Every structure is written in structure tokens, then in C-alpha cells.
Amino acid sequence: MYRLIFSLVFRPMDAERAHHLSFSALRILDRIPLLGRLLRLVVARGTSAPVEVLGLPFPNRVGLAAGFDKNGVGIRALSALGFGHIEVGTITAHAQPGNERPRLFRLLRNRALLNRMGFNNDGARQASFNITAQRRALTALPARQRPIIGVNIGKTKVVPAAEAVADYVASTRELAPLADYLVINVSSPNTPGLRDLQSVASLEPIITAVKEAAAEVVATPRSTLGHVPLLVKIAPDLSDEDVVDICDLAVRTGADGLIVTNTTIDRDVLTGPEAEFARSQAGGISGRPLAPRSLEVLLLVAATVSGELTIVSVGGIGDGNDVDARLAAGADLVQVYSEMIYSGPFWPGRIIRSGGRTRLLTRGTGGA
């Protein structure tokens, strides 16, 4: 049914408009009591596989990556799809419109997306109001159905690199009290100069400042770790040497984990005419073509940190077997996004209930 709807309704439509339409429809359904309850009963059936990671009680190990809900307006509705955690953002200290449209493209033959959104969001202050409202709405659900809420923060585009630390701190002060965990995003290719902040010299003061700011504004964190867990999201295009350096930095500075990986700027992961189209466009690629490099980075990170950090794997996950593979390779949590555009709202529940569910239930609790 979803394939038919996708072909007839969404495929002819601009990708960004289709996203807003489907997301709005999901939020409306969730607000109608009987329909919202039916949605959870049918779509999220059998997705409970509780696990403790980062000192937090995750309903299961599969979550929604940042980028889908940029402003934290639909956390409760998205949880109806069975996700164990929802990562909102990327949120910047100041509201910004993002890049000019069109800025999101489907690469159908490759089961991929190309985006150059540019951190379009309403800013940290408005996001704090949105997330507060969503947390209130979640209290109406049984505890086992409430997702862990991650908040992904990035640098405001107009803020110069020299002021990046203060910009991340401003977002932290607004959002850390509402976050189960925080993510520092220095790996999007769509904000000029952002990926330069992945260098050890630039990243270390950001991690340190964000940790200190979170500790100042959150007296009673939700995590049993005793602080708001902090993760760093890295790019797949880093050299192996740079990945190892970031792992060492994360351990040294007391970060709690890494998210591997963000979108890629490597067009060689694509095949056919879509590869030529992508070479003519700016932006990062996500979806199935990212899977090989994302898995490579995961294996490298797992071998480097040896259980000292929590690892979240994202990029190219298509089914329950992929979830199995990422967990077997050392991931504590898995995140998805692009495949849901092609496979629909029933897909997250399917991969949790499929072959991946056994490992979701049996694997030990995550570290850090």
C-alpha cells in the first residue's frame, strides 16, 4: 500500500514538500485519541526490547536520526512508529532558514537522498518550547512507550568559526535541561567550514565547553551517569587516522560516545545517471550507498575505543539484518532515516520485529 501511495502521491512531489506533508499527517493522526492509539497498536506492535545505554532506559536499540524532526515538534507522533529514541535537530543557537530550495532530492535507483538543507530550524529558544510541550504530551503514554529524546546541536551559519564555542554553549544552555542526551554535530557538509571543526584542535574546546555548560544548567540529569550524556557525530569522509584521533579526543575529554556517520560528499558511492546528477549538485548523500563506509568507520571506532565509549551507528541501514550487522560490529544503538522515505511508516517496526530483534533483546547493555 505504501509503495502505491509513494508512487502516486509522493514521488511526483518535491521531496521536501512530501516530507512536510507526511510528517504533518502523522502528527494529526497522533492528536486524534482513537486513531493515535490504533496507530501505536498496529505500527509499534512488538517493538518493546528494553535496554540501558548511556545510563538511560531505551525502549529498544533502534532510533530516528537527526534531520527528520528539526524543531522537536513531533516527538510523540514519531514514537508511535516504534522508535526507541528520537534525535531532534540539528538545532542552532539562532533561527536560520537554511539553504535555498530545492535542497532535498531523492535518488531512487540508489535508494538514497541528497540534501543540502543547511540546518534550517527555528533556533534553540523555540525548540526548547517545542520539546517542553512534547515531553508533557509523552506523559500521557505508558512509560514503556516513551522514547529517549536526543538533541543534536550545530553551529549557526553566520557565526564565524572563531566564535563556534560560544555558539554551541548558547544552544546547550537552552536545550540541555530538556535532553536525555546531547549531540555535537560538526560533520554536516552543508554549513561552510563546519567540518573543519572536526580537527582535534577545534573540537576539544567545544566538547569541554558544552560539558561544562550542561553541568551548570542541569542539576539532576535523567541519566544514571550523573550528567547529561554527550556524543559527537562524525563524517564518513574522515581519514582513518582522523577517526582514531577523534576517538582518542573523545575519551580524553570525557565525552560519552560517538555517532558514526553523517552524510557523505563522496559521489563515487552512487551508480548510474544519479551519480552524474549528484556530481552537479552540492550536498551530502545518505541512504543505502553509505552503508559500506559507515560500517568501516564503525568497525574502526569499535576497535579503537574498546568499550570506553557508546557507539551509535547510522548510515545505509535497510533491514533487520543490517541492524544485526551493526550491533555485531560494536554499535550499542542504531539510527535510521533515509530508508523510511522509501519503505514507509511500517518499516521501523518491521526491522525491530525481524531478525534484528533477537540481538536487540540479547545484547548486553551499552557502555559509557
Catalytic residues: 188
Tell me whether strands 148-153 and 85-91 are parallel, antiparallel or unpaired. parallel
Instruction: Point out the annotated binding site.
Output: 66-70, 90, 115-119, 152, 185, 190, 233, 261-263, 287, 316, 337-338
Please give the span between the terminal C-alpha atoms of the chain, in angstroms, as a whole number: 42
- Of 146, 143, 136, 31, the C-alpha closest to 83 is 146
Instruction: Point out the annotated binding site for FMN.
Output: 66-70, 90, 152, 185, 233, 261, 287, 316, 337-338
Q: Is residue 91 within a helix (H) or strand (E), and if so which, with residue range? A: strand 85-91
Ramachandran area for residue 69 (φ above 0: left; ψ -120 to 50: alpha; else beta): beta
Nine-digit cell at 349?
517496526
**Displacement of CA 138 from its chain's centroid (Å):** 20
Going 262 to 264 to 270 to 275, the CA torsion angle's sign is positive
> Exposed, middle or buried, 32 (CB in 10 Å: 0-12/13-18/19+)?
exposed
For every residue of 204-268, which 3-state class applies, written as one string?
A: HHHHHHHHHHHHHHCCCCCCCCCCCCEEEEECCCCCHHHHHHHHHHHHHHCCCEEEECCCECCHH
**CB-hemisphere CA count at 13 Å for 324?**
11
Bridge partners, 332 (sequence order):
none
**SS3 state of residue 183:** strand
Instruction: Point out the annotated binding site for substrate.
Output: 70, 115-119, 185, 190, 262-263
Bridge partners, 114 (sequence order):
105, 285
Bridge partners, 259 (sequence order):
233, 312
Cis check for the bond before 102: say yes or no (omega within 30 of 0): yes
Name the packing angle between helices 124-138 and 164-175 (round to 10°): 30
Torsion, Cα of 151, 257, 230, 347 (10° steps): 10
Cα–Cα dist 102/198, whole Å: 28
